[in-house]
Chains A and B, each alone.
Chain A
Amino acid sequence: MSDDVLRVKNITQRFGHGDNAMVALDDVSLAVPRGETLGLVGESGSGKSTLARAILLMRKPTAGTIEFDGEDVTGLRGRALRTHRRRIQMVFQDPNDSLDPRFTVARSISEPLVAAGIGSKERRRRLADALDRVGLPMDSAERYPHEFSGGQRQRIAIARAMAAEPEFVVLDEPTSALDVSVQAQVLNLLVQLQRDTGVTYLFITHNLAVVHHLAHRVAVMHRGKVVEEGTGEQVMNAPEHPYTQRLLESMPVLYRT
Chain B
Amino acid sequence: MTDDVDALRVEDLSISYGTAPPSVSGVSLRVRKGEIVGVIGESGSGKSSIALAMMGLLPDSARVTAGRMTVAGAEMQDATERDWERVRGVKASMVFQEPMAALNPCMRIGAQIAEVLQIHGKTDKRRARARALEILQLVQMPDAEKRLGYYPHQLSGGQRQRVVIAIAVAAGPDLLVADEPTTALDVTVQAQILELIKSLRDETGMGVLFISHDLGVIGQLCERVAVMYRGRVVESGSARRVLEDPRHPYTRALLESIPRPSVPVRSPLAVIPALNDFTEAPAELEEAS
Contact = CB atoms under 8 A, between A and B. Distances in A.
B216 A213 contact: no
A106 to B, nearest CB: 23
B216 A254 contact: yes
B258 interface: yes
Given A184-B270, A206-B186, A255 B216 contact: yes
Contact of B265 (A185, A212, A247, A253): A212
Contacts of B260: 209, 213, 254-257
A254 B258 CA distance: 9
A232 B215 CA distance: 22
A7 B140 CA distance: 44
B190 interface: yes
A207 B217 CA distance: 13
B87 interface: no
A234 interface: no
B62 interface: no
Interface string A79-120: 000000000000000000000000000000000000000000
Task: Give the interface centre of B217, B254, B261, B263 by most chain A CB atoms within 10 Å.
Answer: B261
Q: DSSP class of B's interface residues: helix, strand, loop or mixed?
A: loop
Contacts of B220: 252-254
A197 interface: no
A214 B259 contact: yes
Interface stretch (A15-23, A26-34, A162-170, A175-183): A175-183
Nearest to A41: B187
Interface in A212-252: 212-214, 232, 236-237, 246-247, 249-252
Chain A residues touching B, majority SS: helix
Given A179-B43, A180-B258, A183-B257, A188 B271 contact: yes
A185 B187 CA distance: 23
B285 interface: no
B187 to A, nearest CB: 5
Nearest to B214: A252
Interface in A189-223: 191, 206-210, 212-214
A209 B261 contact: yes
Contacts of A257: 260-262
A206 B187 contact: yes
A246 B263 CA distance: 23
Contacts of B243: 254
Interface in B51-85: none
B219 interface: yes
Given A252-B217, A252-B220, A187 B269 contact: yes
A191 B269 CA distance: 11
A184 B216 contact: no
Nearest to A246: B188
A44 interface: yes
Contacts of A71: none
B259 A179 contact: no
Given A180-B213, A180-B215, A213-B266, A251 B261 contact: no
5 residue pairs, one from A and one from B, having the closest CB atoms: A252-B216, A213-B259, A184-B269, A184-B257, A250-B191
Interface of A: 43-44, 150, 179-181, 183-185, 187-188, 191, 206-210, 212-214, 232, 236-237, 246-247, 249-257
28 contacts: A43-B188, A44-B157, A44-B186, A179-B42, A179-B43, A180-B42, A180-B213, A180-B215, A180-B254, A180-B258, A184-B258, A184-B271, A184-B272, A188-B268, A206-B186, A210-B259, A212-B261, A213-B266, A214-B265, A232-B265, A247-B188, A250-B187, A251-B216, A252-B220, A253-B219, A254-B216, A254-B220, A255-B258
Interface of B: 42-43, 157, 186-188, 190-191, 213-217, 219-220, 243, 253-254, 257-263, 265-266, 268-272
